[in-house]
């Protein structure tokens, strides 16, 4: 039983990712190696953080003087954001926040420019619906208190009946 | 490249139902123990109350944690 329960919980568990969210894309496009991270994991409608790590394809050193533009497009809306190093914690990545209105499939393109060199990358990701709100679950939250109330009533009635019952003598 | 990781819609309800079952079972076991240890019903209720309050507090904390956003915002201040 414990083994089965363990497997059930393991199957339900979402994978954990390190700082910066999940890797959405990692590609080598000379003169760059570009990695795009998305957070939260999984991506949900609402505010999301996108980070781009730009490296030189020759030395793998981080490129710190790039201009990074991210375009996000769903079937109904489009978002453009400029990712900057100032917005990232470690100042090695280019980070931006974006608001994704709709769940579903989103296409994105990342443009990285340094001087005269520019690289465009494209990809897509699935966006889950917004996280559940507590308000929608109040019947589930009331359920144990109703059960305990019924149990308390049952105990009260059965104790009262027990008190009224005549004591049998042997 | 596509990243796909959808969360099933039934999961939060199932998680709350598990917490519900835990709360009911805790209070029931506390009541049974209190009835066994106490001489009369009034004293049993007095023994039950702090443990029931603790169980309800833990239940509330668990529900609160369940609905917190578990997202990494380390890259953006």
**Cβ distance of B1 and A123 shorter than 8 Å:** yes
**Cβ distance of B67 and A20 shorter than 8 Å:** no
Which of 28-47 (A) contact B at CB < 8 A? 37-43
Among the partner-chain residues B31, B59, B73, the one whose CB lies closest to the CB of A39 is B73
Say what the pLDDT of residue A131 is.
Answer: 72
- Which chain A residue is nearest to residue B35, measuring alpha carbons? A155
Q: Which residues of A touch B27 (CB under 8 A)?
A: 148
Predicted-complex ipTM score: 0.80
State the Cα–Cα distance between residues A55 and A68, nearest whole angstrom.
Answer: 13
Under the banding of pLDDT at 50, 70 and 90, the label for residue B27 is: very high
Residue B31: Cβ-neighbour burial (10 angstroms; 0-12, 13-18, 19+)? buried
Say what the pLDDT of residue A161 is.
Answer: 85
Task: Report yes or no: A87 and A78 within 8 Å, Cβ to Cβ.
Answer: no
Helix residue ranges, H only, B1-77: 11-37, 41-66
Say what the pLDDT of residue B75 is.
Answer: 40
Say what the pLDDT of residue A169 is.
Answer: 53
Say what the pLDDT of residue A12 is.
Answer: 57
Among the partner-chain residues A51, A124, A137, the one whose CB lies closest to the CB of B13 is A137
Site of tokens 């079972």: B25
Under the banding of pLDDT at 50, 70 and 90, the label for residue B2 is: very low
Say what the pLDDT of residue A22 is.
Answer: 85
How does pLDDT run across B42-69, given as a tens digit for each residue? 999 999 999 999 999 999 999 988 887 6
Say what the pLDDT of residue B26 is.
Answer: 97
Distance between start and end Cα atoms, chain B? 28
Residue A39: Cβ-neighbour burial (10 angstroms; 0-12, 13-18, 19+)? buried
Q: Which residues of A touch B75 (CB under 8 A)?
A: 19-21, 37, 39, 49, 51, 87-90, 93, 95
**Cβ distance of A126 and B6 shorter than 8 Å:** yes
Residue-averaged pLDDT of chain A: 86
Edge-to-edge strand order for the sheet containing A32-39? Answer: A22-29, A32-39, A46-56, A94-100
pLDDT higher than 50, residue B1: no
Task: Report yes or no: A159 and B41 within 8 Å, Cβ to Cβ.
Answer: yes
Distance between start and end Cα atoms, chain A? 47
Divide the 170 residues of chain A into consecutive groups of 10 and give the mean pLDDT of each group: 71 51 88 91 86 93 94 92 89 91 91 91 88 84 96 91 69
Task: Report yes or no: B5 and A41 within 8 Å, Cβ to Cβ.
Answer: yes
pLDDT higher than 60, residue B10: yes
Q: Which residues of A touch B73 (CB under 8 A)?
A: 39, 49
Q: Which residues of B touch A89 (CB under 8 A)?
A: 74-77
pLDDT higher than 90, residue B70: no
């Amino acid at each position: 039983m414990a083994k089965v329960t363990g497997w059930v919980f393991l199957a339900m568990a979402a994978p954990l990712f390190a700082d910066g969210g999940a890797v959405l894309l990692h590609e080598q496009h000379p003169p760059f190696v570009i990695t795009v991270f998305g957070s939260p994991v999984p991506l949900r409608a609402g505010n999301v953080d996108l980070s781009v790590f730009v490296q030189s394809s020759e030395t793998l050193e981080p490129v710190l003087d790039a201009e990074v533009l991210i375009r996000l497009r769903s079937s109904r809306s489009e978002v453009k954001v400029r990712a900057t190093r100032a917005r990232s914690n470690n100042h090695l990545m280019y980070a931006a926040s974006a608001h994704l209105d709709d769940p579903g499939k989103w296409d994105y393109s990342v443009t990285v420019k340094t001087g005269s060199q520019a690289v465009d990358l494209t990809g897509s990701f699935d966006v889950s619906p917004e996280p559940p709100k507590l308000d929608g679950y109040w019947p589930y939250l009331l359920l144990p208190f109703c059960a305990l109330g019924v149990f308390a009533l049952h105990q009260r009635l059965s104790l009262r009946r027990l008190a009224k019952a005549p004591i049998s003598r042997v | 490249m596509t990243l796909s990781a959808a969360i099933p819609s039934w999961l939060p309800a199932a998680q709350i139902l598990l917490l519900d079952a835990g709360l009911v079972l805790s209070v029931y076991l506390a009541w049974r123990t209190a009835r066994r240890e106490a001489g009369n019903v009034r004293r049993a209720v007095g023994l039950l109350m702090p443990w029931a309050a603790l169980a309800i507090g833990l239940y509330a904390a668990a529900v609160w944690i369940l609905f917190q956003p578990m997202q990494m915002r380390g890259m953006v201040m």
